[in-house]
Chains A and B, each alone.
Chain A
Amino acid sequence: MTDLSTVKGTTKRAYLSYLPKGAGLIWVLVLLCVIAAILSPAFLNPANITNVLRQIALFGIVSIGMTFVILTKGIDLSIGSILGVCAVSTALLLTSGMSVPLTIIAVLLIGILMGAVNGIGITIGGVPPFIMTLGMMVMGRGLALTLANGQPIGLGERAADFMWLGRGFALGLPVPVWIFLVVAAVAIFTLRYTSYGRQIYAVGSNEEAARLSGINVKAIVFSVYVISGLLASLTALIFVSRLTVGEPTAGTGIELEAIAITVIGGTSLFGGEGGILGTMIGAAILAVLANIMNLVGVSPFTQQIVKGAIIVGAVLYEMMRKRKKSS
């Protein structure tokens, strides 16, 4: 009698662990939204919802880049600083009279370039990703402050033709949300339906086996830092457009946010496991959580404590899942 029920129990649990991790996360998100709506009626205000969506988009875009990096077992601590450099560059280029399309292209190139420097240091130089991107984080911030002379740079009259990117709406949704959705769709497609995507997973789960399977490991690793840099610069453009000012301190700490989102979304810090859908939900969870805390008036300091605890919790959860899977 007893053993029959235990057998059933194990199969059921095992079956659940075979579901994609995103499925469980959706319920966490729904639950959070319900709690938010109960705690504060203001949560469901269209203006507030729009605000949350915009927040999701901003953090979501950089987190997608982070997901690519973490899938290869890497880490990118420099995205906040790349964002800062790109924010300052955007303001400088626009105020110097460059056209909006050219500015966008130039800033994206700066992001790509900074990501490429990371990639070269890691692949050719053999510097561990943590150290390389930490160095870039410090250098990048210094560069942003130097370029801006330590001051925020207002867009002045150029704000008018650039604001659409961060503040505009299309089909009822903020433009950044559309950008986020497009980036996410491309990323999902890439990881799932291209051999490049497969190779990212391969490099993250076993680099030596990947090399012996004929994968150009260095090219793959290089590419994910470029993607991460590119998406940081895209976020910078949205940032500046929204605030109409390029701040050298823009994006400070966003790398930790992106790592948290990626890990909460179920991407393994040990590489080779996870995906974009999880990251999207992770971004939504963190944004809703921050929104609830703001609405009910939790102090920003307390919010940090909660966020830190959530990151540790997400990693702990993953370790437990890993252990269970192999027993």
Chain B
Amino acid sequence: MLQTANQPDEDDLAIRGDNHSILKMVGIDKSFPGVKALQKVSFSVDRGEVHALVGENGAGKSTLMKILSGAYTSDHGAIWFDGEITAHASPSEMIDRGIAVIYQEFAQAPHLTVAENIFMHRLPTTRAGIVDWSEMEVQSVRYMERLGFAIDPRTQVSDLSVAQRQMVEIARAISRNAKLIVLDEPSAVLGDSELEKLFVTIRSLQDEGVSFIYISHRLKEVFDISQSVTVLKDGEVMKSDKTENWTTETLIQAMVGRSLTDYFPSRSPNFGDEVLRVTGLSCGDMVKDVSLSLRSGEILGVCGLAGAGRSELLRAIVGADAIDSGTIELHGNSATINSPRKAIALGLGFAPEDRKTEGLFLDQSVGFNITISRLRDFITGFRLNLGKEKAAVRGHIERLRVKTPTVETRIGNLSGGNQQKCVLAKQLNAKCDVLLVDEPTRGVDVGAKREIYDLLVELTEKNGLAILMVSSELPEILGMCDRILVMREGVMTAELTKDDASEEEIMKYATFH
């Protein structure tokens, strides 16, 4: 046979005949300035399977998926999908071929309705060429029902919960006859019950022959839902195998490169005086008459289902939302906190839940983001001492092991978990003595999670900080907190000590019974 320049080499030809794979990616390379994000990555997904893709923050998972979707172009390598080679296809071509990627930060038009979002790029028309709204709504309902969800197709997407939005994304994917759906950290924004629903949906679509790539940092989910697991490390494939051949230990070993015996650091807390007391705090519909008290050296957990008002509680305390009633005392003095600015001035730091919209300045550098809430330490004379600032940023980056080429790198180019570490670095830089953290390990890999836990423990034990921590991951709450508050529909339903608390006990108070 005549070899031409465009002819795939023998390796690639071998794949063409392969019928039980829906996807094969071969020898994928991708570099960014200062980073080799992917090196010779080969990855394949069988028809009808859920294939988990795991690895540390910055391992290259999202980058690989963006190459698959056509959003990025690989420097080298070939992609075979459903028996065809797909060289340099655009995102819309990939969608037409049946690949739907639901990104870590998904793209929706918040002011459009559910139906419009599902049919965004190909609105059904009547014979006269006018958009057929009723047809669109009927079909939307059908798709949502297939997913086991009942949402009025005329609802605006901005009024939906994150879980519902995710379902709209999946509905859009199946409405385009997706054969392969990529879910990039879907669980990062879901509560346990919502996750269960997502799994039901995944399994039923799987029965219809749809394949999935599932990215997550929560290994339990990986074992629950997947049939195969591929581990990426530093842009290379470490190992790919059937799920039943993996154990949690081998998986962590492959991801992190070392074994991690304990998830949570041991604590020998040393409580001091009360530093924060909240009495009868109410704020809108989401926080009703909440009281709590926090001592220095203590980690107080707040848990509850999504929508229980946990984040709103933190926002109300730091003055991000105007409160309706209630008092706040800091170090025994009553404090009027009407803005986050005031909160920071009083030593109350806040790491918000949604890093993209609330936590970070995506277009600015890593250093800018870390120092912005407290620049005064770097002022010498009249001016900002940029050298001093840079040195401090380097210190934070090293302490939290943020993976970034330089201090000047645009923070939006870091992987999700590394961005999260920067959110925490910013709080360190702000030198607060009470820290309110909302989902501090969202999107963070197992190794880095442990680093963050160590950091939180160190801050409380060595520096005497008091931490109020909201988390949807119960093991994290149980492993880290000295006391646990449970919320339900804006009301505090229980306060448990570390010894009384268990997942069952917490769920009992978090749900109706």
Contact = CB atoms under 8 A, between A and B. Distances in A.
Interface string A204-221: 011011111111100000
Nearest to B348: A214
- Consensus secondary structure, chain A interface: helix
Nearest to B386: A193
B173 interface: no
Interface of A: 3, 6-7, 10-11, 14-15, 18, 189, 192-195, 198-199, 201-202, 205-206, 208-216, 272-273, 325-327
A7 B361 contact: no
B340 interface: yes
Nearest to A189: B383
B17 interface: no
B320 A272 contact: no
A212 B368 contact: no
B352 interface: yes
B376 interface: yes
B363 A272 contact: yes
A18 B409 CA distance: 10
B191 interface: no
B361 A202 contact: yes
A202 B33 contact: no
A209 B359 CA distance: 5
Nearest to B66: A327
Nearest to A18: B33
B357 A209 contact: yes
B127 to A, nearest CB: 38
A15 B72 CA distance: 18
Contacts of B374: 214
A194 B361 contact: no
Contacts of B373: 213-215
Given A195-B376, A209-B360, A213-B373, 6 more contacts: A7-B76, A194-B383, A199-B372, A209-B361, A212-B318, A215-B373
Interface string B365-382: 000100011111001001
Contacts of B360: 206, 209
A212 B350 contact: yes
25 contacts: A6-B76, A7-B29, A7-B76, A14-B33, A18-B33, A193-B386, A195-B376, A202-B372, A205-B363, A206-B361, A209-B359, A209-B361, A211-B320, A211-B340, A211-B341, A212-B318, A212-B320, A212-B352, A212-B359, A214-B339, A214-B340, A214-B345, A215-B373, A272-B363, A325-B410
A20 to B, nearest CB: 11
The 4 lowest CB-CB distance pairs between A and B, nearest first, are A214-B344, A193-B383, A195-B375, A213-B373
Number of contact residues on B: which range applies? 35 or more
Interface string B49-79: 0000000000000000000000111011000
Contacts of B73: 327
Nearest to B408: A18
A156 B320 CA distance: 58
Given A7-B75, A214-B343, A272 B364 contact: yes
A201 B32 CA distance: 25
A198 B363 contact: no
A191 B426 CA distance: 21
B379 A195 contact: yes
A214 B426 CA distance: 12
A18 B375 CA distance: 25
A233 to B, nearest CB: 26
Given A6-B75, A10-B31, A214-B340, A209 B358 contact: yes
A300 B428 CA distance: 58
Contacts of B120: none
Contact of A206 (B362, B375, B376, B383): B362
Nearest to A326: B412
B292 interface: no
A111 to B, nearest CB: 25
Interface in B61-101: 71-73, 75-76
Given A208-B357, A214-B341, A201 B320 contact: no
Nearest to A14: B33
Contacts of B76: 3, 6-7
A272 B361 contact: yes
A10 B358 CA distance: 33
A201 B75 contact: no
Contacts of A6: 75-76
B106 to A, nearest CB: 16
Contact of A212 (B340, B363, B413): B340
Contacts of A273: 363
Nearest to A273: B363
